[in-house]
Structure 1
């Protein structure tokens, strides 16, 4: 199987991170600190269902909104 990268894009949160959270680093658990850091590349494929109609959604805007929700204020 050959994989072709069509584009790369950095998705940023739709609003900046609050200042009180920017200064404090994210704490890692004890087990996370001991675990070796490595990257395992993975590609997930999902079958397309032809009978479903999807409305137009800007995927980048949707991801930006999700990132904003994942950082508590």
Structure 2
């Protein structure tokens, strides 16, 4: 499972890659990442991709079990 974290206005949001529904809304980038990592850890693992304002992807964070490449 992959969650994308990105800024949306004044908020930072996280949503499952490919989904149109936002799962997490947070006031800070760090909080959005931490909450997405915690969710993935409870769900068996996955990846958190942080998308920069210019749509570039920062290095992927992998909590719990990484996805097979």
Determine if the TM-score, normalized by the shorter chain, exceeds 0.5. no
**If the TM-score is normalised by the length of the shorter chain, which range does it land in?**
under 0.3
Higher helix share: 1
The alignment's TM-score, normalised by the length of structure 1, stands at 0.24
The alignment's TM-score, normalised by the length of structure 2, stands at 0.25
Higher strand share: 2
